[in-house]
Amino acid sequence: MKKILLFIFSTFIALSIAIYSKRSSEVFASKSNPTWKTFVKNSNLEVSGHKTTQKELEAARVPTPKRAIAEENNQFANDERISFEQQAKIIKDNHFLIREERVLIGDIQKRNYQDEDVPLEMLNKINPNWKDILGHELLRFQDDDTKVMIKEEFSIIQIQNGKGRYVEQVIVTYVLKDGAINSYRALVDSETGSVTDTWDKTISENYKRERANLSLPSENNSGIITR
């Protein structure tokens, strides 16, 4: 009888891990090769947006996924990105907490917020146009012919004092008229498109050493996702 119960329990645990791994992988799969969007201020001080071109990525010295992986590990030289199974293993091993297909950060130890039956008051809503709002705002005080390139990294729920806020982690890269480049990471309110925090302002110097296939978070003391 004990052996039967042990077998049932072991099977349940194995299935739970498999389901969690699959769900986590699906959450991050869309971010495994994230797209950039470019916003440009023209001479009339108007801002327009478009999908970032390969030429713009090269001008900003952003490596393609294939080249970035190959530079770090030659065994991936012929692959566009790491396999789905490898992504799943990395995600499972790091035990990320997920709610509404978003990474949980902040005060996440007080309650099991990963269980969506646990109530969580949200302080904002998700605006599908948050990136456009952000792009226009970032160019508001910039000179004409300035470009700003934005890439989504993670969709997040940030919890503080028992309340949640939808935020997005992004990479922001400025390309100035003279070719100068300035990059940093930011947290952005998912409703207003406003920047709530910035860090890693030397990213343009380190970007070539980063894997472009999949960005995985860890938490520092402030709750911000970092490398």
pLDDT in tens, 155-196: 999 999 999 999 999 999 999 888 889 999 999 999 999 999
Cα separations (Å) of 204 from 7, 53, 175, 209, 226? 52, 18, 11, 10, 15
E strand map for the chain: 36-41, 47-51, 98-99, 102-106, 121-122, 147-160, 163-175, 181-189, 195-199, 218-219, 225-226
Q: Which pLDDT belongs to residue 96? A: 78
Residue 155's Cβ-side half-sphere holds a number of Cα atoms within 13 Å equal to 22
pLDDT score, position 6: 52
pTM of the predicted model as reported, rounded to 2 decimal places: 0.66
Compute φ and ψ for 113, nearest 5 degrees. Answer: -70, -15
**Taking each helix axis from N to C terminus, what angle separates 84-94 and 2-29, rounded to the nearest 10 degrees?**
110
Q: What is the pLDDT of residue 177?
A: 86
5-43 confidence digits (pLDDT tens) = 555 545 544 444 444 444 444 455 445 456 899 999 987
State residue 57's pLDDT score: 87
Q: Which of 227, 212, 222 is nearest to 73 (CA)?
A: 212
Cα R_g (the chain), whole angstroms: 20
Give me the pLDDT at residue 95, please.
67
User: What end-to-end distance do the CA atoms of the chain give, in Å?
Assistant: 48
CA distance 176 to 168: 24
What's residue 227's pLDDT?
37
Mean pLDDT confidence for 108-116: 90
What pLDDT score was predicted for residue 154?
86
Q: What is the pLDDT of residues 49-95, one digit of tens each?
A: 999 999 888 888 775 443 333 333 333 333 334 444 554 555 455 56
Question: Looking at per-residue confidence, does 70 or 126 come out higher?
Answer: 126
For residue 134, give the nearest of 163, 167, 175, 107 by alpha carbon. Answer: 167
